[in-house]
Amino acid sequence: MRRSRAATRARAVAALVGDSGTASNARVTAVVGANAVTLTKEVTTLPAAPVIVDVVSPEGVDVRLDGRLLHGAGPRVLTAVDLTRSTGFHRLQVGQQTFSFATEDAKLRLDGIEQMLSALRTSGTGWSGQLLFSDGVALRDPHVVYSWLDRCADATLECVRRIIDVPLSISRSDRTPSRRGGRSLHQTATTRLLRAHPDRYLEQSPAGLLRLGGKRYDPLRVVVRTRTTSVESAANRRAVCLVSRLDGLVSEVLAADPDAHVAERCRSWRESVSRLLRRPLARMLAAGAPVGALAAPRQTEEAVAARYRESYRFSVDLTARFGWAPTQRVLPRFSYVDRADTIYQAFVATVLADALGLAQTAPVLGQMPLAFAGDDYEIYYDTHPGPSVLRSWRYGSARPDASRPDVLLRRRSSGEVLVIDAKYRVEGTQATEDSRKDVSAYMALYGLDTVVIAYPGQSPARCAVVTGQGKTILELPVGPWPGLKTELVDALPRLVAAMRPPVY
């Protein structure tokens, strides 16, 4: 028994320090339905379905899935992962060993993600998430950064300004040695000090205050309570660090050479930041701020005072979204992009609008329900378009719906519409059956006989047709490949011919 326990501890320690001889002890199996697949060092592609991941490893080794610690009993960990709508790669770490697996939907990979972001470079986008990778590294994109600044920068600067104008101070009680006591004497601490160093702090005297062993002594030192007040608190330092962090985000956006509107707003934020950080109090707090001041635990004043509550809320939000150091390093393709589906949706709307010659109506995509407009056509993006544009059969019911078509193409003269659903999923080189079920719900809801699925298939962007009983699904491959605009222009007559007047 002793040998067995010692061997177990040795294996666990070896795995934690990265001993290559024990890495092979970990066994990972992915169970999909009745099938079991053993994961290896090579990336494994799994179906887009619920999966049970079974990890058998040396006891005591941490098991993390996409950075999240998994808990299990002893050396075995079981966890359920729903990959039905997964859009990328996942990373499983067992001690020092790494396993990667992807869904069958992850066809564009990181190169495709970066190409789509490049296509969106000239227009702001309104998604709120960071591009998060499973190994904890962030691929910072100016669109994501500007989206946060657009929503939070002005309120953050005003909040911190009010804190610096009238900062709350903290009162701290300390105990210090003194030659005199008085009302501030701390008796317990004084007794402890004198007992610890009687030769240093006691002096024999016939009329001494203390009697020990038949002799009397006077104390040379006593411990007294002192109270100090200071504005150098964790909450005040957090507010100043928040402004400095905001200045860094502004610099990232300006470095990407944004359009004139975005650049003007960023320069305005930078000037406001500079004015705040030149304040004497801000300089003092910044000089004494420790590393990690922005992520310090919540302070009492941040739960009581409104301006401090707001500062704390912005700090938590910023840390959650941009918690890792910015990097332009291109990561290995075996990474999971959390917002790939949203990026693809924005990409589809933008390239279709470009093919139609439509202009974006606002600097931030999604800021207005009507995202693109032209003389003949207009596009609504990821929004409930309103009853005058499109309504469902449930509009006048006791339970009205709030459906948000990804892309809604509308002819201005007649009001005819076409619903286009952007699905970042593929099955082989075709759209998935799950996507067809989703758009069939749109057909029933709006009384339409034709809908479009845009999916990341392969060039050329030519519609495949699924038709029957007077209903049609057009499956249009759309991806960031050369010549996409020309192919979409060629596909437009088919799409325009499928437009119909709203039924309800």
Domain boundaries in the chain?
A: 2-106, 141-168+232-321, 177-229, 340-497
Question: To which residue do tokens 């210090």 refer?
Answer: 176
Structural contact between residues 361 and 368, judged by C-beta atoms closer than 8 angstroms = yes
Structural contact between residues 400 and 394, judged by C-beta atoms closer than 8 angstroms = yes
> Strand 222-230 vs strand 170-178: parallel, antiparallel, or unpaired?
antiparallel
Structure token pair of residue 139 = 């691929």
How much is the pLDDT for 502?
Answer: 94
CA dihedral 314, 317, 320, 325 (to 10 degrees): -40
Q: Give the predicted TM-score (pTM) of the model.
A: 0.55
Q: At a CB cut-off of 8 Å and minimum separation 6, what does 286 contact?
A: 237, 240, 241, 244, 277
The widest CA-to-CA distance across the chain, in whole angstroms, is 115
**C-alpha count within 13 angstroms, C-beta hemisphere, residue 328:** 4
CA dihedral 249, 254, 259, 260 (to 10 degrees): 110
Question: To which residue do tokens 């993006």 refer?
Answer: 381
For 325, counting Cβ atoms within 10 Å of its Cβ (0-12 exposed, 13-18 middle, 19+ buried), the class is exposed
CATH number for the region 340-497 comes to 3.40.91
How much is the pLDDT for 21?
Answer: 35
Cα 33 → chain centroid: 31
How much is the pLDDT for 111?
Answer: 65
Q: At a CB cut-off of 8 Å and minimum separation 6, what does 159 contact?
A: 239, 307, 310, 311, 314
Tens digits of per-residue pLDDT, 390-409?
Answer: 999 999 899 998 899 999 99
Structural contact between residues 440 and 434, judged by C-beta atoms closer than 8 angstroms = no
Cα 448 → chain centroid: 36
Return the higher-pLDDT residue of 171 and 77: 77
Return the higher-pLDDT residue of 187 and 40: 40
Structural contact between residues 357 and 374, judged by C-beta atoms closer than 8 angstroms = yes
- pLDDT interval class at 328 (50, 70, 90): very low
What mean pLDDT, rounded, does the chain reach?
81
Q: What is the mean pLDDT of residues 266-270?
A: 95
Between CA 377 and CA 499 the distance in angstroms is: 11
Between CA 110 and CA 127 the distance in angstroms is: 18
- pLDDT interval class at 2 (50, 70, 90): very low
Return the higher-pLDDT residue of 190 and 464: 464
Structural contact between residues 197 and 177, judged by C-beta atoms closer than 8 angstroms = no
| Helix (H) or strand (E) segment spanning residue 76 | strand 76-82
Between CA 195 and CA 183 the distance in angstroms is: 22
The candidate with the shortest Cα–Cα distance to 143, out of 264, 259, 241, 316, is: 259
Q: Is the preceding omega at residue 326 within 30 degrees of 0, hence cis? A: no
The crossing angle, in degrees rounded to 10, of helices 234-255 and 260-277 is 150
Q: What is the mean pLDDT of residues 119-138?
A: 50
Tens digits of per-residue pLDDT, 3-30?
Answer: 343 333 333 323 323 333 334 478 999 8
- pLDDT interval class at 194 (50, 70, 90): confident
The candidate with the shortest Cα–Cα distance to 342, out of 76, 131, 110, is: 131
Between CA 65 and CA 70 the distance in angstroms is: 7
One-letter identity of residue 339: R
| Helix (H) or strand (E) segment spanning residue 213 | none
The candidate with the shortest Cα–Cα distance to 410, out of 382, 395, 389, 381, is: 389
How much is the pLDDT for 325?
Answer: 37
CATH architecture, range 2-106: Sandwich (2.60)
- pLDDT interval class at 452 (50, 70, 90): very high
How many beta carbons lie within 10 A of that of residue 305, not counting itself?
17
Return the higher-pLDDT residue of 61 and 487: 487
Q: 3-state DSSP call for residue 163?
A: helix
- pLDDT interval class at 124 (50, 70, 90): low
Q: Is the preceding omega at residue 460 within 30 degrees of 0, hence cis? A: yes
How much is the pLDDT for 120?
Answer: 75
